Amino acid sequence: MSTQLENIQPGATDGRSGRGLLLAAACVIFSGCSGGGGDDVSLGSGQGPDPATVDFPIAYVKRSLPVAPMTLQDDSRSLRTFNVDADLYIRDRAAPSVPERNITQRVTGDTDLWDVKDLEASYDGNRVLFAMRGPIDPGADEEDLPKWGIWEYNRVTDFLRRVIPSDTVADAGHDVSPHYLPDGRIVFSSTRQRQSQAVLLDEGKPQFPALDEERDEPGFVLHVMNSDGSDIHQISFNQSHDRDAAVLLNGQILYTRWDRAFGATSAQSLYRMNPDGTGLELYYGAESHATGFQNQVIQFLQPRVLQNGRVAVIARPFTGSQFGGDVLSIDAETYVENTQPLLPNRGVLTGPAQSRLVANDVRILPGAPSPGGVFSGAFPLHDGTNRMFVSWSMCRLIENSRIVPCTEDRLDDPNAVPAPVLYGLWMYVIAAGTQLPVIAPVEGQMFAEVVTLMPRVLPPVILDKVPGVDVDATLVSENVGVLDIRSVYDIDGVDQANPNIATLADPAQRTAIQRPQRFLRIVKAVSIPDDDVRDFRQSAFGASPYMREIIGYAPVEPDGSVRVKVPANVALAIDVVDVNVRRTLPRHSNWLQVRPGEVVRCNGCHDPDPANLQSHGRSNLFAAANAGAATTGLPFPNTDPALFADFGETMAQTRARHSCSNDNCRSINPTADVVYEDVWTHQPTAGRAPDASFAYRYSSLRTPAPLSNPDCATQWAAQCRIVINYETIVHPLWSTPRITLAADGVTVLSDNTCTRCHSTRDAANTLRVPAGQLDLADGPSPDNPDRFHAYHELVFIDNEQTLNMATNTLEDRCAQFDPVTGVCVQFFTVLPSVRSAGALGSRFFQKMDNNVGTVNHRGFLNNAEVRLMAEWMDIGAQYYNDPFAAPLN
């Protein structure tokens, strides 16, 4: 596609009339109108000839429905897919009598090889943004097809242009879901992943768009560009899709985020952020998905801001609803969940936050008809009339090869089969619960989206943060931000320290060993390439369907507070770990992000109790349990007076302030090693000596260290990574000699080398059952030859083995034989020693910590090795955590 597309002139008439297959015996019916006799669906006669009440243009997408057996792609998790034969149309008034104009025909011609979607109107009503893709060769591979691009049409000048004029720049990624920002720039969703790809270069990897967390297509994340397509930059760093951006009345960006971190429950919820990517937080719905008809799980899509500040969404499942769903109104300025209000109304309001905007009896059940039809889009008017344009398909059924209306008797039939959708455009009057036809549905076509080109109030402009003015310039230069946690003992606003935060924070009352939470581990997602970049074997993932890296560690101060630098522009998660470096709290199910120079603050942590699901990823949900320092100019009780506090400061904030004044902010720099130093205890007032310092250093490993750069051991930087691959980092532990010699240097007092007992051959090469049914010797696994046998023995359930003395072979021990055939139908099994869900509770550490069994394993591994095993389990016990180290197909 050439750059001359900017100068495309108006085309002639629509040359595509008559396209699309008309289904036999099919007409149209309007809800609430009288129809003809019999079972055929007929045009109602109860509507007036011209119900238009809006004297502004409307823009909409019209497409042909594909011929059976082809179907439209309607999975809301798939943004790259296309449904050909679509164009953008405009009518100068929202009335059936006003002729339509095909705007994109001047590009698409008379072909059916283009797709159009994601319409958005400008605030002055003069322009419309949309995504367009084509021409498509249905038989070509995805990588050979044109990409989705952002286009703009100016109705005043009748000028159509691709926003990014350069072919090279336009082809760098798929661009969808555009929206105008109040300052004239454009926010959109894209696979470009511009800043994420720059981070890959810093990691020594090639640049590529990372796949989403289901590894189906590249992740679409939010970017911003100028109106001329320049200055494209990424502002969101999710690992799955961020889509459907809109602008709240306060100028912030509202959008739908697909959360899929750590294999958590897949869900699409509403988030918000500033236009520069700062201030990211949950806006609504992470725990409100089971609120559909009959508690069906729904997703919150296509958010649109209503004039009263509420948010309208299309609520539908991921798939199976033929693009349609219900239209909900959400009071997200009062609630974060359907029954969870913000802090000012906690204990006063109970919800629901959601209400239905339409009176239709919409029922979204997989494969079942919806009596009130379904809505594929809604665009609210901001003219004080409480109306909206909707794309709506009525309820129809297929009966004896005929399309018939949805009567009560037919809907009562459990075998009722929905007919193909029939979307038309309607004006919906919310207060009255009535809808008037604007464009009547046409069999074989679909009016998929609609926006009105009328002026709206411009939200305020939120300026991007300026280094040295709004954010710390030094942090920006280091490409880092700061994570500030008031207390990890603050669980949903409740002080859950034992007995309380104040007691744990006082060195006179508690020692370090009495504080359960000791360090914060910062975890990063690993970008996964598609097969064109690195066609590695899927067996590389092992026990977890994802890969993770560790950024570093920071101490948890006695009051549970943390203040630490974290890399900017990456998807982050955190683990709170104990003195043994084992995660003590559940994993995060969503990703954090920090922009350069940004300070992200949170009160504490969250209890994901399924009996009391509450969200915590938004400000003003809970009062902070850690009040901080009671006075200014004095130390915390019984602590070093040199570390005097300011009123309200946490211990981490106080330490950081002093550190940044005299030792280059050392206290907020993460470390690759796990290091503890008691800087707080003041012996004269605490009545005891400071707690002993210690460190679990990778330099103490007798095997390779998992550091991406050896310099990271002494000087942390934003590019530092801890990468734990089983074959090169974990597996060498088992054969490392662990021999204790007598004073003569020759006599062996003990040999605790792991494979001495955990192998199928003893020192004399005699076959045996490995100790504890755990074989840690070298060699490929019979279950999966891509992995070492020891890995499978550690991580997966295995059959118990016994030694057959007659044949001198190891056999699986049978628990039950078939009495007729004599074939074993059930074996005794052995539970895995390693938990990919986390180190706590693993059989491995039960042996190491508690001397379970006949052999005391305590001390067999040194502290650095025990730490390595704990962090490997906590991040998922993967086989590889680097796709570029994994073997190729």
* Contact assessment for residue 261 and residue 588, using Cβ atoms and an 8 Å cutoff: yes
Nearest partner of 787 among 798, 774, 800, 778, judged by Cα? 778
Residue 765 reports pLDDT greater than 60: yes
Q: What is the pLDDT of residue 638?
A: 98
How much is the average pLDDT of 315-324?
88
Q: What is the pLDDT of residue 133?
A: 96
Residue 50 reports pLDDT greater than 60: no
Q: What is the pLDDT of residue 111?
A: 86
Q: What is the pLDDT of residue 5?
A: 31
Q: What is the pLDDT of residue 853?
A: 62
SS3 state at 413? coil
Q: Report pLDDT digits (tens) over 482-528.
A: 999 999 999 999 999 999 999 999 999 999 999 999 999 999 999 99
Q: Report pLDDT digits (tens) over 700-738.
A: 999 999 999 999 999 999 999 999 999 999 999 999 999
Q: Report pLDDT digits (tens) over 341-369.
A: 999 999 999 999 999 999 999 998 878 89
Nearest partner of 638 among 705, 683, 672, judged by Cα? 683
Q: Report pLDDT digits (tens) over 367-395.
A: 889 999 999 999 999 999 999 999 999 99
Residue 37 reports pLDDT greater than 80: no
Q: What is the pLDDT of residue 578?
A: 97
Please give the Cα distance from 505 to 507 (Å, whole number).
Answer: 6
Q: What is the pLDDT of residue 43?
A: 31
Q: Report pLDDT digits (tens) over 382-428.
A: 999 999 999 999 999 999 989 999 999 999 998 899 998 899 999 99
Instruction: Name the residue ranges covered by the structural domains of the chain.
Output: 3-452, 473-518+556-692, 728-875
Q: What is the pLDDT of residue 53?
A: 53
Q: What is the pLDDT of residue 265?
A: 77
| 323: its two tokens | 């693009």
Residue 33 reports pLDDT greater than 80: no
User: Would you report the helix, strand and coil content of the chain in percent, each value rounded to 5?
Assistant: 15, 30, 60
Q: Letter for the amino acid at 635?
A: P
What DSSP character marks residue 707?
B
Q: What is the pLDDT of residue 607?
A: 75
Residue 29 reports pLDDT greater than 70: no
Q: Report pLDDT digits (tens) over 662-702.
A: 888 999 999 999 999 999 999 999 999 999 999 999 999 99
Average the pLDDT over each of 205-219, 260-274, 644-658, 780-794 and give the range with the smallest value. Answer: 260-274
Residue 10 reports pLDDT greater than 50: no
Please give the Cα distance from 82 to 61 (Å, whole number).
Answer: 14
* Contact assessment for residue 806 and residue 767, using Cβ atoms and an 8 Å cutoff: no
How much is the average pLDDT of 35-45?
33
pTM: 0.92
SS3 state at 729? helix
Q: Which residue has the higher pLDDT, 72 or 235?
A: 235
Q: β-pairing, 572-577 with 519-525?
A: antiparallel
Q: Report pLDDT digits (tens) over 833-858.
A: 999 999 998 999 988 887 666 678 88
Residues 6+ apart with CB under 8 A from 346: none
Q: What is the pLDDT of residue 665?
A: 92
Q: What is the pLDDT of residue 81?
A: 85
Please give the Cα distance from 222 to 241 (Å, whole number).
Answer: 9
Question: Which CATH number applies to 3-452?
Answer: 2.120.10.30
Q: Report pLDDT digits (tens) over 122-149.
A: 999 999 999 999 998 878 888 889 999 9
Mean pLDDT of the chain: 90
Q: Report pLDDT digits (tens) over 260-283.
A: 988 767 999 999 999 999 999 999
Percent of the chain with pLDDT over 90: 81
Q: How far apart are the first and last CA of the chain?
A: 35
CA distances to 241, 522, 719 from 573, rounded to whole Å, are: 17, 6, 16
Report how far Cα 653 is from the mean position of its chain's Cα atoms: 30
* Contact assessment for residue 792 and residue 798, using Cβ atoms and an 8 Å cutoff: yes
Residue 40 reports pLDDT greater than 80: no
Please give the Cα distance from 547 to 541 (Å, whole number).
Answer: 7
Q: What's the per-residue H, E or C state across 483-505?
A: EEECCCCEECCEECCCCCHHHHH
Q: Report pLDDT digits (tens) over 450-479.
A: 999 999 999 999 999 999 999 999 999 999
76-99 b/e with 16+ CB inside 10 Å = b?
bbbbbbbbbbbbbbbbebbbbebe
Q: What's the per-residue H, E or C state across 535-601?
A: CECHHHHECCCCCEEEEEEEECCCCCCEEEEEECCCCEEEEEECCCCCECCCCCCCCECCCCCCEEE
Average the pLDDT over each of 30-34, 328-332, 645-649, 803-807 and give the range with the smallest value. Answer: 30-34
